[in-house]
Structure 1
Amino acid sequence: MTATIDVARLADLLREAAKAEIMPRFRNLSDGDIREKTSATDLVTEADEAAERFIARECRSLLPDALFVGEESVAADASLLARLDEADLAVVVDPIDGTANFAAGVPLFAVMMAVVSRGETVAGLIYDPLGDDCMLAEKGAGAQRRLATGETFPLATAAHVPLSEAVGCVSYTYFPAELKKAVLPRLGDVKVSANLRCAGHEYRLLASGGSQFAVYSKLMPWDHLPGVLIATEAGGHVAKIDGTPYTPRDRQGTLIAAGSEESWHAAREGLFPGA
């Protein structure tokens, strides 16, 4: 199945969608182009919807037998998530990861895609429209950074350092209240902690050796499938807080992605003692 996936062409597709539908709208949205979904920090814009339509249309010709699962498509038809669990082949897309940043004019957002075959992620891509490059991975083939020219460079995660010297991204926005109260005071033990409000860039940072770990508690597939594969193929270690693997079927729980297994254990023990 993996051999039939043209990952380079998928990277080009994300770039084309960004240039056609996302970047012309960046810092150029009217009030009517931005809407709340579940809260003031959970937004959708005209750019999200237009980019997803663009990607879906092209995917129908590139992978005609694949189920298309986009974040905005699921907002309209929640049954798509259940179909993803059973699909022989699926394409999972976040047309703009970091929509709140995008809507506020903050230049920190990404376009993400994963290809899932029978419950296993076999390809992952995270495109940065502003940097105009894509991080991508295929299962078992390593992870790369691909420039707009097509030139590629291998990715590698960072070596382990003590938590007191580590850089970590902690996406605490969606932590349950009690978990947030427990974890936030412990971030003082971390050298640098950040919440970029964009999982795509947090995974890019991890996969390129810029951080030691990232922590999440909202596990929607479009937010994590691409980054988990890229980070893992770059040499990282990713698992739920109980040590079990993350899969496309996981929707709840706490996820730790780290540059190494040692860094994963350091993050769990330092931020979630007794877990």
Structure 2
Amino acid sequence: MRGSVETPTSRRTEEQVLMGGHMTNDAIGLRDVTRRYDSGRTHVTALDEVSLAFPRGTFTAVMGPSGSGKSTLLQCAAGLDRPTSGSVTVGGTELTGLSETKLTLLRREHIGFVFQAFNLLPSLTAEQNVALPLRLAGRRPKKAQVREVLAQVGLGDRARHRPTEMSGGQQQRVALARALITRPEVLFGDEPTGALDSQTSHEVLTLLRGMVDRDGQTIVMVTHDPVAASYADRVVFLVDGRVNGELIGACAEDIAARMTKLEAVPC
């Protein structure tokens, strides 16, 4: 998909400035990232000096017990939340010093999001929902571009259908297409199959896996499901805001066994 869509010269120039004019092998890099939340006398350290790299063209699952910092990690890595200390780099650009305007532009152009809730506008068709990020960015979407990304997720024949006329799995595919329309550097998923049955979940995860293998897409997915995590190249585990090891190319049974051990560790 990346090579088949025309990109205006002005946009390339803007991106090169924003991205610092250089590229790295890592799509996302976190270095000594700490995120604390203070509320009166309450102090919570959601992330504690986390250092992680997410290489381009890889699929990473993030797992851990409840309250381990998974969602905070995703939010900091995606530029949705600023760390208390440490640095986050997206495609070679350090996020720490960016203004809110530049940070918003970076997220809009280089990062895609898919959540458990599909968050589709019910009054819009599939193609209108997919085109929405481009319209919000002040760009006029080309119908061919929208149809292409819908075809990529297997919905080329459902472009004019509204969400109520589609199954849950089809709605999540529309949400995927919407996230991919800007050709993001990284696709973040926060429990993207959490609301789907096992068969539909398998179809969506197979689609994500294919995007990595076929298109070189970088995916970071937070999940609680060992089966979902087994589609990833590696699984990173968090406990109490710290990285607690990882598994490479693991099956669902091994991932589940690791999670059981982590959840059994006394506080």
Common fold by TM > 0.5:
no
Structure having the higher Rg: 2
More contact order relative to length (CA 8 Å, sep ≥ 6): 2
